[in-house]
Chain A
Amino acid sequence: MIWLTLLMVLPLAGSVVVAALPKADEKLVKQVALATTLIVMAATIAMATTFQRDNVELQFVEKYSWIPSFGINYALGIDGLALVLILMSTILAPVVVLAGWNESHGGRWSVKTFYILILVLETMMIGVFAATDVFLFYVIFEAMLIPVYFLIGGYGTGERSAAAVKFLIYSLFGGLLMLASIIALYVMSGAQGGHTFDLAALSKLEMSSTTQNLLFLGFFIAFAIKAPLWPLHTWLPDAAESATPGTSVLLLGVLDKVGTFGMIRYCLTLFPEASKTFTPLILVLAVISIVYGAILAIGQRDLKRLIAFTSISHFGFITMGIFAMTSQGHSGATLYMFNHGFSTAALFLVGGCMISRRRSSTIADFGGLQRVTPVMAWMFFLAGMSSLALPGLSSFVSEFLVLVGTFTRHPVHAVIATFGIVLAALYILIPVQKALHGPTTPGNENLSDLNLREKIAIAPVIAIIVFLGFYPSPLLKVINPAASHVIAQLGFSDPLPTSGSK
């Protein structure tokens, strides 16, 4: 069964239906969009149940010729890593639609356009993780920017158009560097047995180490911009500050994961030697991101910017896990990608509810919400705890795995990164204290608590965070084989644990 194409076609069909609806009937537009995303979610879960966990080969493979004269195929297929990310994306989509029910009202264009963009984006989110043809991946990788650009610039707040442009220019620049590398790969494949973009075939290319290093950088810089790694992160806080909460969830939760996903799928697979060469440098950048993101998060006055900086810190952890080159590190990084999606979603969505009620995103404007709106305050607290990786919540497991996986090979990095956890406590607890506790700030007395719709939207996110905190193994069973496979392909074996004293 052509599961992956089906998953991609469903949201696209939904967007066509939405486009055909009357502009005035906003409620119907939202209902259709919600129904579409729910159907896609159900279909993804149905597909996931038939996924063979222990099979490290690509599954649900599809391949059709697209542009034969360049050897380009429409080729899809997923392993555990891609499955987890597609699951995350399709679960987040209905949550975003439901929680951000009214966030499209302040936009430049109609509500209808907003949901068309969201649904088109969902198609691309699935495609970008499922593509196994490098050209197809690049096409979706770049084309995705357009809906996001319009979502930020058209429906955001504040300096939205400047933020949208900054986002687009950064991403396009990275993308074009990647294009140069892709062209080089394509030409080399032509010299070594026929033009192709097939990932598996390209990974077998012979190339000199200089070439490999250069091409690796082309890919890596594109992904490091996406997954924002210090010092290429500066677009993210602006974009997150200006975008609507729902868009931010998709941007930080899903789109930025394309960066870390790409590092594993493309950088490590295509350029194993170069990956090893650059590992020391990348680990340093990752550790800087962890600490730098955390310190800057502490200093933020704006709630959305704060969440953006916490994400930079978290992406540092994910990158560190990937380049630790151990299977725990890898599993941890993949699980981290999934968990980060949900904890960021919770923060942004509850934060979004707070911001839309208070009509301000400055942390100092809140205060004493615990008394006025207890449910909202508790939800925000829980989301914050998940972000600082409190044991018992999902992020703890992944952060722990990343640190353990890194420590066995790079103890110094792991130790410094641990400071990130301490700082995380600060950057979460300070805003929690300012916004939720203390005396009620004048003007906040009459804020309303979460309504039923918002509760329904946020409940599944919180449920996933708690459930995976206690019982992560269903996901880990999918992730571990894929992670070990990547590590084995790279020619690494996990270092044996060294015992201290007998």
Chain B
Amino acid sequence: MGFTAPVLNYTLLSPILILLAGALIGVLVEAFVSKALRSITQLSITIGTLVLSLAQVWKIRNAQSTTAAMGSVVIDGPAILLQAIILIIAIISVFVIADTDHFTALAAALPGSDEERHAVQTGNQVTEVYPLTLFAISGMMLFPISSDLITLFVALEMLSLPLYLMAGLSRRRRLASQEAALKYFLLGAFSSAFFLFGMAYLYGYSASVTFAGIRESVVGGSGNDVLLLIGIAFVSIGLLFKVGAVPFHAWSPDVYQGAPTPITGFMAAATKVAAFGAMLRIYYTVFANAQWSWSPLLSAIAIITMLFGSFVAIAQRDVKRMLAYSSIAHAGFLLAGVIALNKAGLDASIFYLFAYGVATVGAFAIVTLVRDANGEVTDLNRWKGLGKRSPWIAATFAGFLLAFAGIPLTSGFIAKFSIFSAAYENGAKGVVIAGVLSSAIAAFFYIRVIVLMFFTDPVQDGTSVEIPSALTRTSIIFSMALTLALGLYPAPLLDFITSLATFIR
């Protein structure tokens, strides 16, 4: 019996391979480098790896062949764009993560134990968050380029498992952080099971695990539709869980609140890109011809998600929970891009993911700066009068909020406009109207925070604003600059996306 060596096409996989190599080196560094040098070594390796990977993505953007690893992954325009977006978001997130003050000195120690105290006293800060981040990013990079169900599932687990751990790394309020991690893990495992279940049905329907094979069956329409419907439904549940769409959103407020804030920012931004990237690929290519079966339901979910996220955010008194509900609302807006199912919808979704992701990292970076003696202050009542004490920080945060609200001259407006017009083009008028209405509702709570910061007198309770470290500052300035630039002159990026973003089936 002959054996054909698999053709892997390493060049196309190289961005992910670089990340994995960096992550493994990071593990070794954790073991061998002295505690004095550990942090800086890890940071340099992580940033270096990410930049190298980004450079590699840029290099292969016009690659001739498009599939790698025997057709398990597809490198097409959207893949390149999504990978680049994930890497850019990752780099600015790592700048914020670099402030190790947010992370527990020894995650393995019980909260409040002697070991923990000892680790803090001796300055023995472990830095496993860096390799974990790199592992998560490599999973995220693989997720939207997977082109068979097995790879998709592996990527899903690859991005999820490190995130579960990272959510539990908070230095302060460790129990809340660990609770968040556990919740995320349990619900995540549950949704993975649904996903797997759906995969099995899709295999049963088409006798294939590759996207191309399933697509062929869908187009041919010869299979058993019941199997297809169950498969679509359960795979969708798994994906909708990851993006935090209602009714699969229950984890996100708790996890957003409990996780260390730099991780929350990273998770909120990068996971959304990866998950929506995969979702776009699956719905646009595999399920496109079965639009009749999923489009009405997905529209309903989008509408509920937008309205629910916006309404519930109004009642929040904690800035991280508020941003969590706002991110739920944004997941609803992004679903409009999936429903659009046209070229404009794909372009708009990619632009939206980039604009939203960058602004999210910036906003959470600012949350990390508002502190008192016990660490971060996330109670909105204590953000009163922030504009008086730190006008620049407050103004920048206001800028991000206005971008989330979709006020013109910010990237958020262009993103919202493009995604709604794409959805409208496909006749999804209900989604667009719900989107516009929930934007109006959402504006209310974003503005309320601005009122708190600027129009309310400060309270004397020891809240202060940390001077941002050079890296955090870079991250915030970069996000803000991009948010404004994409609001004022988005043409170059839009053109670039339009020219590149076509799915290869």
A-to-B contact residues, CB < 8 Å: 65-70, 108-109, 138-140, 142-143, 145-146, 150, 153-154, 160-161, 164-165, 168-169, 172-173, 176-177, 179-180, 183-184, 186-187, 190
Q: Assess the A180–B436 pair: CB atoms within 8 A.
A: yes
B444 contacts which chain A residues (CB < 8 A)? 169
A-B contact pairs, 26 of them (CB 8 A): A67-B490, A67-B491, A68-B491, A68-B495, A69-B347, A69-B498, A70-B494, A139-B409, A142-B407, A142-B408, A143-B409, A146-B402, A153-B455, A154-B454, A154-B455, A160-B455, A161-B451, A161-B456, A164-B451, A173-B440, A176-B440, A179-B417, A183-B420, A183-B424, A183-B432, A187-B424
Give which listed residue, A146, A153, A172, A176, contacts B451 with CB less than 8 A: A153
Give which listed residue, A68, A143, A187, contacts B421 with CB less than 8 A: A187
Give which listed residue, A138, A153, A187, contacts B408 with CB less than 8 A: A138
Cβ distance A333 to chain B, nearest Cβ, rounded Å: 28
Asked whether B414 is an interface residue with its Cβ less than 8 Å from the other chain, the reply is yes
Beyond A66-B491, A169-B444, whether A143 also contacts B498 by CB under 8 A is: no
Cβ distance A247 to chain B, nearest Cβ, rounded Å: 15
Asked whether B425 is an interface residue with its Cβ less than 8 Å from the other chain, the reply is yes
Q: How many residues of B contact A (CB 8 A)?
A: 36
B347 contacts which chain A residues (CB < 8 A)? 69
Cα A172 to Cα B447 in complex, Å, equals 11
Which partner residue on chain A sits nearest B402 by CB separation?
A146
Cα A142 to Cα B391 in complex, Å, equals 23
Give which listed residue, B391, B407, B456, B494, contacts A146 with CB less than 8 A: B407
A67 contacts which chain B residues (CB < 8 A)? 414, 489-491, 494
Which partner residue on chain B sits nearest A66 by CB separation?
B491
Cα A68 to Cα B432 in complex, Å, equals 23
Which partner residue on chain A sits nearest B491 by CB separation?
A67
Q: Assess the A69–B425 pair: CB atoms within 8 A.
A: no
Known: A109-B391, A176-B436, A179-B420. 7 other contacts (CB 8 A): A69-B494, A108-B388, A143-B407, A143-B408, A161-B455, A180-B420, A190-B425
Which partner residue on chain A sits nearest B425 by CB separation?
A187
Cβ distance B323 to chain A, nearest Cβ, rounded Å: 20
Cα A65 to Cα B424 in complex, Å, equals 24
A164 contacts which chain B residues (CB < 8 A)? 451, 455
Which partner residue on chain A sits nearest B416 by CB separation?
A179
Q: Assess the A108–B454 pair: CB atoms within 8 A.
A: yes
Which partner residue on chain A sits nearest B498 by CB separation?
A69
B297 contacts which chain A residues (CB < 8 A)? none
Asked whether B256 is an interface residue with its Cβ less than 8 Å from the other chain, the reply is no
Cβ distance A57 to chain B, nearest Cβ, rounded Å: 28
B456 contacts which chain A residues (CB < 8 A)? 161
Cβ distance B429 to chain A, nearest Cβ, rounded Å: 8
Q: Assess the A176–B437 pair: CB atoms within 8 A.
A: yes
Q: Assess the A177–B436 pair: CB atoms within 8 A.
A: yes
Cα A108 to Cα B424 in complex, Å, equals 43
Cα A187 to Cα B423 in complex, Å, equals 10
Which partner residue on chain A sits nearest B421 by CB separation?
A183
Cα A66 to Cα B488 in complex, Å, equals 9
Which partner residue on chain B sits nearest A150 by CB separation?
B454
B455 contacts which chain A residues (CB < 8 A)? 108, 153-154, 160-161, 164
Q: Assess the B439–A165 pair: CB atoms within 8 A.
A: no
Q: Assess the A183–B417 pair: CB atoms within 8 A.
A: yes
Asked whether B413 is an interface residue with its Cβ less than 8 Å from the other chain, the reply is yes
A108 contacts which chain B residues (CB < 8 A)? 387-388, 454-455
Which partner residue on chain B sits nearest A153 by CB separation?
B455
Beyond A142-B408, A179-B417, whether A168 also contacts B495 by CB under 8 A is: no
Cα A336 to Cα B404 in complex, Å, equals 39
Cα A138 to Cα B413 in complex, Å, equals 11
Which partner residue on chain B sits nearest A179 by CB separation?
B436
Which partner residue on chain A sits nearest B455 by CB separation?
A161
**Per-position contact with A for B221-245: 1 when CB-CB < 8 Å, else 0?**
0000000000000000000000000
B436 contacts which chain A residues (CB < 8 A)? 176-177, 179-180
**Per-position contact with A for B203-218: 1 when CB-CB < 8 Å, else 0?**
0000000000000000
A70 contacts which chain B residues (CB < 8 A)? 417-418, 421, 494
Asked whether B433 is an interface residue with its Cβ less than 8 Å from the other chain, the reply is yes
Give which listed residue, A153, A173, A179, contacts B454 with CB less than 8 A: A153
Cβ distance A54 to chain B, nearest Cβ, rounded Å: 36
A145 contacts which chain B residues (CB < 8 A)? 407
Cα A186 to Cα B437 in complex, Å, equals 19
Cβ distance A221 to chain B, nearest Cβ, rounded Å: 12
A168 contacts which chain B residues (CB < 8 A)? 443, 447
Cα A180 to Cα B432 in complex, Å, equals 7
Cβ distance B81 to chain A, nearest Cβ, rounded Å: 15
Cα A180 to Cα B417 in complex, Å, equals 9
B495 contacts which chain A residues (CB < 8 A)? 68-69
A146 contacts which chain B residues (CB < 8 A)? 402, 407
Q: Assess the B451–A165 pair: CB atoms within 8 A.
A: yes
The listed residue with most A CB atoms (<10 A of its CB), out of B440, B455, B498, is B455
Which partner residue on chain A sits nearest B437 by CB separation?
A176
Which partner residue on chain A sits nearest B405 by CB separation?
A172
**Per-position contact with A for B419-459: 1 when CB-CB < 8 Å, else 0?**
01100110000001100110110011001100100111000
Cα A68 to Cα B433 in complex, Å, equals 25
Cα A5 to Cα B393 in complex, Å, equals 32
Cα A140 to Cα B443 in complex, Å, equals 17
A186 contacts which chain B residues (CB < 8 A)? 421
